[in-house]
Structure 1
Amino acid sequence: MSFQNKRITLVVNVAWSMFNFRHGVISRLLADGYKVTVITAPDEFSDKLRNMGCTVIDLPISGKGTNPLQDLSLLYSLYRLYLSTMPNFIIHYSIKPNIYGSLAAKLAGIPSLAVTTGLGYTFVNDNWIAKVARSLYKLAFRYPKEVWFLNEDDRQVFLKHSLVSADKAVVLYSEGVNLNHFSPLPKTSYDENIRFLLIARMLWDKGVGEFVEAARIIRKKYPHATFQLLGACGFANPSVIEREQVEKWEKEGVIEYLGTTNDVRSHISQADCVVLPSFYREGIPRSLMEAAAMAKPLITTDNVGCRDVVIPDETGLLCPVKDANALAICCEKVLGLSSSAREEMGIRGREFMMRQFDEKLIIAQYLHTLNKYGV
């Protein structure tokens, strides 16, 4: 294939996730001479993708809508865009692009790849929406060249439900972490406090309630333990925690709310342990990868995606889901470690990221796959 004809289209429901989670992959594709088009619902990151050198096509893609007419409209819109732009290969991310994009690519006669970034409610619930979603997955996933999963648990679920053939189901092992960008940084201030930091959108599903309850338990015995929340409140989601609730916790003195940031590194560098007690079906939690890359010990749940980032008792601790008491016990174990022991746990965590989650490994898998299919 000639240099000028290497055209890749990436499709996702929000530009934010494309820029933040796949920046390294996109940069490498552009550097290797690919013309990269991103089809996504527009947001403040659309222009950042354009500034990288991507062509960005704005297309409203509802992440959670269940209106069949809107879904058929999305299928048709993607089909028309694929015919007009004629990429050599299409990569779909998230549920709606995976389903309707894979079907549209088949109709347009263009090879594609589907990347499932987490199963969410589709496989936790057994309501009619979940059943329809599974049926649509089964139909759509007949057509991509491969279907990638971010962890083995998700791959096994799809195989168990016969939603994808085994020869197409591939594990990507996360979307990678940039180990140069997320590297250990010294603390800028020192005191006697031991800081536990949770980085996530403020959702009950992320275990924020359990984190707060564990903070109540721990701070009665260890007043020097500080529990911090970093992430957005009050957005559209059934599991959202409103800002007013967070303010109540602040007034109670049980947590510190750090708001939001475009660069989490300064907050991670000040933390002694990063916590994510999620009971959501995660793909691979980025906040945990970034914290481990910065040599911080982790506490997370023995849950899909989360457990993949931790070597128990070596790089962090695992606790059961929805169990604030067990989470508090893990926090107490971290408090009982010497500073050198916590530091050693963090160092081993970064080494684990280097072995399995380095962004360079992920980029190599993308390039190998494109070469495999002649793109």
Structure 2
Amino acid sequence: MRVAIVLNTSWNIYNFRMNFVKELMALGHEVHTIAPLDEYTRLLEEAGCQHHVIKMDSRGANPIKDSALILEFFMIYKKVKPDVILHFTIKPNVYGTFAATLLRIPVINNVCGLGTVFLKDNLLSAIAVFLYKVSFRFARRVFFQNPEDLQMFIEKKLVTNKTADLLPGSGIDLKKFHPTEYKRNEKFTFLLISRLITDKGVLEYIEAIQKLKSEGVNAKFQILGAIDEQHKRGIKSELIRKWIETETVEYLGTTDDVRTFIEKADCIVLPSYREGTPRTLLEAASSSKPIIATDVPGCNNVVVNNYNGMLCKIKDATDLADKMKSMSELKEEKLREFGRNGRLKMEAEFDESLVINKYLAALKKLE
């Protein structure tokens, strides 16, 4: 089969879908990747993908401006003539599906997370729901990363039970992210791994840090992730510089390999407002690290309170600070237990092979 994989960045394909791509190639399928040009595009081509560049802004949502994507997708799909298209992320899911439908090409869509638009009740949210409702009528299969998102789409009649299915996120490569022997740092170290946007709970994390420091908690607080001022909910670099200058937090920048940073931390923190299935938490749990995350869909599918970490209230810096303080006061054996439990959960529920096999089964039905 000629399979097209469409995302909003080449980086996303290379970092999160590459094992699936390699499996497709090993089975003799011809893989075409479609995404904007970035530094990872070359790596996709070197791996054997036939890449097609599309101009797509992954930030924000303007349905009038974004509707032009339908024509761009249409022209690429007409040229490539794929047997099936797998869409990931919002814009490919919606506008790519419209284009594929005009060409009568079957699509498999993936809802990797709802985004803030579904957390609000406004005109933009209403338009997004409408676009999903119309476009998803034409999808052969729609995969979701947590049961809450799936149920919401069914209740809003955006998908049917017949087309909807559940995946354990993008899965985790258990060989790449393997446990290391836990040794507590002299200064207990918290690490948040995320783009610096408000939806990820970064502001609550900073407020919690300030509260803990005022109480005399002797710990180290870190952030690893890209500054994204252009994002509608991006945090200004001026504010981030202030956090660094006042030594509120240690900013680690960005990396192509998070494993070293995860290994050096005592606890991974993600106070996000809502997720599909957060990759950061899968990586942390697979690496046997205790986790603190918000009790929201996506996060609470990975973290079970007092089993492999702790859950805190959404948008509540005080509760987050309380959980962080409690975590830092745990004995080393309890921290090890959280880590072991997290790894067991990943092996049982989130192994990447489970995801790949579901995709392959869906493709087989279209042959």
Aligned to 1:367: 360
Shift of 1:310: 0.6
In the other structure, the counterpart of 2:148 is: 153
Match of 1:8 among 3, 15, 29: 3
Compute the TM-score of the two structures, normalised by the length of structure 1.
0.94
Residue correspondence of structure 1 range 154-173 to structure 2 within 5 A: 154-173=149-168
Offset from partner CA, 1:263-313 (integer Å, 9 cap, x none) = 11111001110000111x311111111011100000000112111111110
Tell me, yes or no, if the aligned pair for 2:112 and 2:144 is still in contact at 8 Å: yes
Deviation of 1:122 after TM superposition, in Å, equals 2.5
Q: Which residue of 2 aligns with 1:264?
A: 258
Equivalent in the alignment of 2:90: 95
**What aligned pairs does 1:1-375 form with structure 2 within 5 A after superposition?**
6-63=1-58, 64-66=60-62, 68=64, 70-186=65-181, 191-279=185-273, 281-374=274-367
CA distance in 2, matches of 1:86, 1:239: 37
The offset of 1:173, in angstroms, is 1.8
Asked whether the 8 Å contact 1:39–1:57 carries over to 2, the reply is yes
The CA distance in 2 between the partners of 1:151 and 1:190, in whole Å, is 32
2-structure distance, mates of 1:238, 1:50 = 31
Matched-pair identity in %: 39
SS at match of 1:142: helix
Letter in 2 for 1:32: L
CA contact (8 A) 1:195 1:227 kept: yes
The 3-state SS of whatever aligns with 2:46 is helix
Q: Which runs of 5+ in 2 are unaligned?
A: none
Aligned counterparts of 1:74 and 1:92: Cα–Cα separation in 2: 14
- Name the CA shift for 1:313/1:191 in 2 (closer, same or farther; >3 Å): closer
Task: Supply the distance in 2 between the matched residues of 1:166 and 1:361 (Cα, whole angstroms).
Answer: 21
1:121: Cα distance to partner? 2.4
**What's the offset of the Cα at 1:65?**
4.1
Deviation at 1:27, TM superposition (A): 1.3
1:83: Cα distance to partner?
2.4
1:326-368 alpha-carbon deviations (Å, 9 max, x no partner): 1111112112211111011101101101111111111111111
Deviates further, 287-296 or 115-124: 115-124
Q: Is the 8 A contact 1:122 1:134 kept in 2?
A: no
For structure 1, which segment, 192-201 or 10-19, has the greater mean C-alpha deviation from structure 2 after superposition?
A: 10-19
Partner SS state of residue 312, structure 1: coil
Query: How many angstroms apart in 2 are the aligned matches of 1:366 and 1:29?
Result: 10
SS in 2 for 1:43: coil
Distance 2:334 2:150 in 1: 35
RMSD: 1.6
- SS of the equivalent of 1:165 reads coil
Distance in 2, Cα, partners of 1:67 & 1:372: 33
Output one character per residue of 1:146-176: Cα deviation in whole Å (capped at 9) or x when no partner: 1111111111111111111121111112001
Q: Which amino acid aligns with 2:69?
A: L
Change (3 A) 1:117 1:46: same
User: How many angstroms apart in 2 are the aligned matches of 1:67 and 1:323?
Assistant: 32
Aligned partner of residue 123 in structure 1, secondary structure: helix
8 A contact 2:7–2:13 mirrored in 1: yes
Asked if structure 2 preserves the Cα contact closer than 8 Å seen for 1:186 and 1:269, the reply is no
State the alpha-carbon separation in 2 of the partners of residues 44 and 243 from structure 1.
23
Q: Tell me, which stretches of 5 or more residues in structure 1 are unaligned? A: 1-5
SS of 2:113's equivalent in the other structure is coil
Q: Residue 224 of structure 1: CA displacement? A: 2.6
Letter in 2 for 1:118: G
Change (3 A) 1:278 1:72: closer
Q: Structure 2: how far apart are the matches of 1:102 and 1:60?
A: 16
* Cα shift at 1:76: 2.1
Q: Distance in 1 between matches of 2:95 and 2:223?
A: 36
Aligned residues: 366
Q: Report the secondary structure of 2:124's partner residue.
A: helix
User: CA–CA distance in 1 between the matches of 2:8 and 2:156?
Assistant: 25
Q: Residue 353 of structure 2 aligns to which amino acid in structure 1?
A: K
In 2, the alpha carbon distance for the partners of 1:168 and 1:329 equals 42
